[in-house]
Structure 1
Amino acid sequence: MKEQTNRKPWGLIIFVLLLLFLLSTIFVGIISISSSIDVDLLSGNVALIPVKGVITVDPASGWGERVVSSTEITEFIEKADKNPKIEAIILDINSPGGSAVASEEIAVAVKKADKTTIALIREVGASGGYWIASAADQIVANRMSVTGSIGVFSSYLEFSGLLRDYNVTYQRLVSGEYKDMGSPFKELTPNERGLLQSKLDRIHSFFIEEVAVNRGLSYEQVQPLSTGAFYLGIEAKELGLVDVLGGKQEVIDILEKELNITVELAKYERKKTLFDVFGEVMNQRSFHLGRGIGSSMYGSETDRLKVWA
């Protein structure tokens, strides 16, 4: 009897915790839905679309860090382009880059837009962020903005040396020579390293080609600038990577002069949810290290070997 009595409080506690978790999940979902913005209802004649944070395809991949989703940004660009009230689109960029695929998706959407497009680079518009900016009709950047960084990389944590130190053996069972390429439990073979490098070099070549076409330059002109080094805004202008030095007011002046309009901005963005706020708090803690180690140990080979621009 005594044992049964002791079990009841624990069962009740577990039930209450599960109920609270379920209710909090539902609440966050409701807040997320109610906080989303209907961009078609906005007033204004120039769309302002923030591109801020690490660029990813899926907004859900931003747990613990500020990200911008190519899925959302391309949707905003398409809606603004179809809106008869909108005469131009400003991309407000403050991003160090991110997924090569996501960066290209946004750049393609920018190039497809029929409206005038201007990229405004704030503090940072580098790598994938610059890829997106290059697709716009004009690029405006502060003289001290960090831009350029035309390069790609892929990396992961390797624990093979640590395993050897503790006499732990990795038993390799694969069907396909390269199936466990990038596993954190073994060193890359020369063939694996060469294969990965060839993929990165090819994506790098795509990046150079896109920048060259977007900026009206030749491949040979862009290639020397594609070492992965970043340039200040003033340097980027001298190199032909930026058109105008300035900020938001300079962008407005350009649009009012070229389109003969009085600019009224309509901000296209998803409002923050409680989930986003909680994620930003987590970002200020030691979350990144733990997530990096965890994804290296347990992620699939495609997760471990994502290519970033």
Structure 2
Amino acid sequence: MPKEKSRWKTVITILIIFFIISWIISFIISSFFKIEGPSGNVALIPVKGIITAEGFQSFGVKGASSTEIIEFIEKADKSPSVKAILFEINSPGGGAVASKEIADAVKRANKTTYALIREVGASGGYWIASATDHIIANEFSITGSIGVIASYIEFAGLLERYNMTYQRLVAGKYKDMGSPLKHLPFDEREILQNKLNKLHESFIKEIATNRNMPVERIREISTGEFYFGSEALQLGLIDSLGDKETAKELIKQQLNLTKVEFAEYEKPKTLMEILTGVFSENFFLIGKGIGSALTEQKAVNRIEIIT
């Protein structure tokens, strides 16, 4: 037993030393070998995963950070060598604030902007695409889904079943509105629904403005339904069908360029991020299914609004 304990102590010590050395190397690389910017005449900015302000990350899978993407847009817009910006979108949406922040930054750009929707560019992802000058999608890309959702799991019935009580102490009638520990009263449901309706209406007006279409027309198709690229083209939600090569040829033709070279704007992963991703993925595979219900739960007493 003493030998086994000693062996485990040695392993743990080695792991700690390894992580410390990795962190130091990562810090040195990021401090002294910063990349000034990619080369090419068309900026390629990816918008991948869940859209949040800082970039949602779970088990090594990083989402789209509005902070990073806006920084890339501003850098590309200031670069004299960049003639256009192409957003490669593969996102189901995310936070309303983060989506609007990126869409607003796209509209502020002085360069011609394009969106290429890959597998999915829905909800907040489509919001961003709509802010560009031209949208390209595959005929089977998932687009649209112009709607807002807010949901949570209510535990009030479960508490009652096990004779547990939620002791409510608030200063302000609606301070715990949407708490999953109590039943949702009619007045609170009405308030929340009204707020979702307001956000949805703003979403509709933004899309109508961005696509230069009547608000009523956008309202008709803004049921939250998703559309394939071929359907979106008929509805006026996108401009053409195609892929990356299609986008390349379109940019070359519209901007009278002899050639198009993409400059990929993507934050390079540090050594620690790579290692964290590897370990996270492995731990996820080991525990897959055990904690799946808890993976994306952020707060037990809050409703998350997603576009």
User: What band does the TM-score fall into relative to the shorter chain?
Assistant: 0.7 to 0.9
Measured after TM superposition, the shift of residue 66 of structure 1 is 3.4
Cα drift, residue 156 of structure 1: 1.5
Deviates more, 1:267-276 or 1:143-152: 267-276
What is residue 305 of structure 2 aligned with on the other side?
A: 307
User: Match of 1:291, as an amino acid?
Assistant: T
- AA partner of residue 41 (structure 1): G
Aligned equivalent of 2:264: 267
Aligned mates of 1:25, 1:199 — CA distance in 2 = 47
Instruction: Tell me which residue corresponds to 2:224.
Output: 228
Write out aligned runs for 1:80-229 (5 A): 80-229=76-225
Identity of aligned residues (%): 51
Q: Secondary structure at the match of 1:307?
A: strand
Report how many residues are paired.
295
Root mean square deviation, CA, Å: 2.7
Tell me, yes or no, if structure 1 residue 31 matches structure 2 residue 54. Answer: no
5+ long unaligned stretches in structure 1? 1-5
TM score, norm. by length of structure 2:
0.87
Indicate if the aligned counterparts of 1:118 and 1:137 stay in contact, CA closer than 8 A. Answer: yes
Residues 170-194 of structure 1, C-alpha deviations (whole Å, 9 max, x = no match): 1111111111112121111111111
Structure 2 residue 61 is matched with structure 1 residue 63: no
Structure 1 pair 282–184 and aligned structure 2 pair: CA distance change class (3 A): farther
Q: Measure, in 1, the Cα distance between the counterparts of 2:53 and 2:20.
A: 23
TM-score in terms of structure 1 length: 0.87
Asked if 1 retains the 8 angstrom alpha-carbon contact of 2:37 and 2:265, the reply is no
Partners of 1:147 and 1:103 in 2: how far apart?
15
Question: Which residue of structure 2 lines up, in the alignment, with residue 237 of structure 1?
Answer: 233
Query: CA contact under 8 A between 1:39 and 1:79: conserved in structure 2?
Result: no
Name the structure with the higher helix share.
1
User: Structure 1 residues 223, 190: closer, same or farther in 2, change over 3 A?
Assistant: same
CA–CA separation in structure 1 for the residues paired with 2:183 and 2:226: 31
Please give the alpha-carbon distance, in whole angstroms, between the structure 1 residues aligned to 2:27 and 2:94.
24
Segments of structure 2 that go 5 or more residues without pairing to the other structure are none
